[in-house]
A = this chain, B = another copy of it.
Amino acid sequence: MVSKNYYDVTQWAIGDPFNDIGEVINSILLDIKKRQKEIDENDGGKPGAVIYIPPGDYHLKTQVVIDISFLKIMGSGHGFTSSSIRYNVPEDEWSDLHELWPGGSRILVDLSGSSKEEAAGAAFYIQRSGDPRISSVEFSNFCIDGLHFVDDGSDETNPENTYTNGITGIHVASANDSFRITGMGFVYLEHGIISYHADALTIHDNFIAECGSCIELRGWGQASKVTDNLIGAGFKGYSIYAENFGGLLVTANNVFPRGASCIHLEGVTRSLISNNRLHAFYPGMVILDKNSSENSISSNHLLHDHEPWAPLQGRNNGLDDTFGLLSINGNSNTVIGNHFSEIIDKDQISPKGATPVIIHVVTGNGNYISNNHIVATKSELTSSDSCFASQVEALLTNDANEALEVKTVLIERQSFGNTVLDSGSEAQVELDKEDNAFRATPTPAKHSILNELR
């Protein structure tokens, strides 16, 4: 016998978790609430419960709706495997594969097409009005699998490459406090995690990949952390998005392609984006937009190169190479100690003949841009049928390629009071020196050497 506050979905009397785990969990939630009412409320305690999902394949046909605090849903396996690679293996080779699907404690979300409304497509939907805000809901170590993408007209060859299916893994609709999402796997969802109005949210050590967008912090929020995750969105979506947020910490993430952006901030202030390894196939890797101000972008490693995998080549996010790998609309931000590698084919630059831009202050005053190291080299676009092999090959190729001419920093007119230090030579940095401060990175006495390198 175990505590009444410990539920195993495979042991619950109502419903069949393998057929519809949504029905089972909702029924468990009813039981928790019923028992909370019955308890002597001397101290009013409502400690919540834990729901355990052992490894297994569990279809979800009914959305789980959560409106109680202190609920933990946990499995024993984040279960990620690449569906994207497999969907681009010819089907007649599937019988040779060891396995076809993700696994672990795996939720198979069968909600697709159920509705046009975004919230209706969420496997886990959390909403509570009134006070206090819903608190301490935890998701840990299971897999949410959206199974298929669908034809949205964007891919004539293979609808499984569209990143569209209307399905969300976890959707938190109302103001929330001290939630935790850790050790989870998210795969083939149009949206991995959506959270509105988050306070003290932890998104830590998850695997969120092959999703349209991975993490979206919407509405507004504060004092949260997105740390130590492996993340990679689709070509249309965000790996990490936040709006109107204060005090966000985004650190120690390894963000891989192919998101339209790695980190996209709108109206975000006084936040720290540091120490992330970011890799993208398009410009606009990190975007600070809509007056995002007083943030620090420091000690990150950013790599932009070309998509080497044939099935997804030809996609883009619509941004030109003059957009910047880091683009800023905002004031008083700090950009220190970042490494940028720009590895692109001169013939693929858009618009044709343009000089690519690395750090771009579109509008903004008082930004401090210092000690960033930009490495730019020409590389020919190649193509491979194997996703993994092609990426490894591309990553490990660092022959002494020819230097590529770039603007390391571009401060647009009408921006003033910005400071640019040691982030490029006189020729590489473009700004109005009357309105902004500038110190060029020193160059060797032999200028020919420099020209050879840059």
Chain A residue total in the interface (Cβ 8 A): 154
Q: Are B275 and A101 in contact (CB under 8 A)?
A: no
Residues on B with C-beta less than 8 A from A183 are 180, 182
In the complex, per-residue mask of A133-146: 1 if CB is within 8 Å of any chain B CB, else 0? 11110100000000
Residues on B with C-beta less than 8 A from A111 are none
Known contacts A224-B254, A252-B249; A437/B433 CB under 8 A: no
Q: Are A375 and B332 in contact (CB under 8 A)?
A: yes
Residues on B with C-beta less than 8 A from A178 are 78, 80-81, 185, 207, 230
Q: 8 Å CB contacts to B: which residues of A118-137?
A: 128, 130-136
Chain B min CB distance to A15 (Å)? 15
Residues on B with C-beta less than 8 A from A275 are 251-252, 272, 274-275, 299
Q: Are B3 and A56 in contact (CB under 8 A)?
A: yes
> Interface stretch among A152-160, A345-353, A393-401?
A393-401
Q: Are B207 and A225 in contact (CB under 8 A)?
A: no
In the complex, per-residue mask of A49-73: 1 if CB is within 8 Å of any chain B CB, else 0? 1100011110000000000111110
Known contacts A365-B453, A370-B371, A446-B434; A77/B50 CB under 8 A: yes
Q: Is A74 an interface residue (CB 8 A)?
A: yes
Q: Is A218 an interface residue (CB 8 A)?
A: no
Q: Are B97 and A131 in contact (CB under 8 A)?
A: yes
Q: Are A80 and B228 in contact (CB under 8 A)?
A: no
Q: Are B419 and A421 in contact (CB under 8 A)?
A: no
Residues on B with C-beta less than 8 A from A175 are 388
> Interface stretch among A21-29, A197-205, A318-326?
A197-205
Q: 8 Å CB contacts to B: which residues of A305-345?
A: 331-332, 334, 336-339, 341
Q: Are A222 and B392 in contact (CB under 8 A)?
A: yes
Residues on B with C-beta less than 8 A from A207 are 178, 200, 202
Q: Are B50 and A54 in contact (CB under 8 A)?
A: yes
Residues on B with C-beta less than 8 A from A256 are 200, 223, 247
In the complex, per-residue mask of A368-389: 1 if CB is within 8 Å of any chain B CB, else 0? 1011010100000000000010
Instruction: Report the Cα distance A68→B128, complex, angstroms.
Output: 41
Known contacts A388-B199, A441-B437, A442-B419; A99/B453 CB under 8 A: no
Q: Are B199 and A270 in contact (CB under 8 A)?
A: no
Q: Are B370 and A422 in contact (CB under 8 A)?
A: yes
Q: Is A13 an interface residue (CB 8 A)?
A: no
Q: 8 Å CB contacts to B: which residues of A150-198?
A: 175, 177-178, 180, 182-183, 185
Q: Is A115 an interface residue (CB 8 A)?
A: no
Q: Are B371 and A98 in contact (CB under 8 A)?
A: no
Q: Are B79 and A47 in contact (CB under 8 A)?
A: yes
Residues on B with C-beta less than 8 A from A43 are 57, 100-101, 108
Interface centre among A130, A185, A417 (most CB of B within 10 A): A417
Q: Are A269 and B398 in contact (CB under 8 A)?
A: yes
Q: Are A421 and B442 in contact (CB under 8 A)?
A: yes
Instruction: Report the Cα distance A228→B147, complex, angstroms.
Output: 32
Q: Are B131 and A89 in contact (CB under 8 A)?
A: yes
Residue of B nearest to A420 (CB): B442
Instruction: Report the Cα distance A230→B204, complex, angstroms.
Output: 12
Show 28 A/B contacts (Cβ-Cβ < 8 Å), sorted by A.
A2-B8, A2-B10, A2-B11, A3-B8, A5-B54, A44-B101, A47-B57, A69-B98, A70-B99, A70-B102, A80-B178, A81-B177, A81-B178, A98-B134, A199-B392, A204-B205, A220-B396, A223-B256, A223-B279, A228-B228, A246-B396, A274-B301, A294-B398, A298-B337, A366-B375, A417-B453, A434-B444, A437-B441
Q: Which 4 pairs of residues, A with B, have the shortest CB-CB distance?
A: A246-B395, A70-B103, A3-B54, A50-B76
